[in-house]
Amino acid sequence: MQLRDRAQYIEKRLAQLFPETPIPLHHEDPYTLLIAVVLSAQCTDERVNQVTEKLFARAKTPKDMGQLTVAEIEDIIRPCGLAARKAKSISELSKLLLERHEGQVPDSFGELEALPGVGHKTASVVMSQAFKRPAFPVDTHIHRLAQQWELTSGKNVEQTEQDLKKIFKPTSWAKLHLRFIYFGRIYCTSRNCDGRQCEICRHCFPERKRPKSFQRA
């Protein structure tokens, strides 16, 4: 199956499996989404949602968050892991939003990535989901699946992102990003599919005899 046919099949099948694409992280606005995404680094969405329920009960605006000490934030978010680093970033970015952006989350990649603890992937999620701007955030699930489905050579997440953007239309990026993640978590996990087990791998690569290796993010 050629790349174009494979991409069309994958996009169609994912849409059939996941017609709705709810954002897994609980949030109310761009700021609470930003905080949730910062907390999601090396942490499950389920755990983040448990933590943000407690955190946002104390502070869910940059002003309120800035009034908490770093130690107070760290104590609340400890279950997410990397608590000291994340607490410092959350405190600092909240104060910078007040100082530079009148308490609003900026809607540009440059301004978002200038905030503490906000890398390109985090900025991409916020741009895509909060501001509906074309972006294709690549996490470990997407990076792995894109390699197994031979949509990229997958040398790094940056290349994977660029390759996927070339293959799929910008209007599909927001939903595809989430559909890749859902499929990778449910049907094609790193433990139960080596490139030959899940239905998409079997359909696209029926002749594949050996496990498909992939470059980790």
**Active-site residue set:** 121, 139
The token pair that represents 9 in the structure block: 């099949």
Cα dist from 208 to 152, 161, 202, 205, whole Å = 17, 25, 8, 5
Instruction: Measure the CA–CA gap between 4 and 80, rounded to whole angstroms.
Output: 39
Provide the 10 A C-beta neighbour count for residue 135: 22
Sign for the pseudo-dihedral over CA of 37, 42, 45, 48: negative
Cα dist from 198 to 90, 98, 170, 188, whole Å = 38, 47, 26, 6
Instruction: Measure the CA–CA gap between 62 and 91, rounded to whole angstroms.
Output: 8
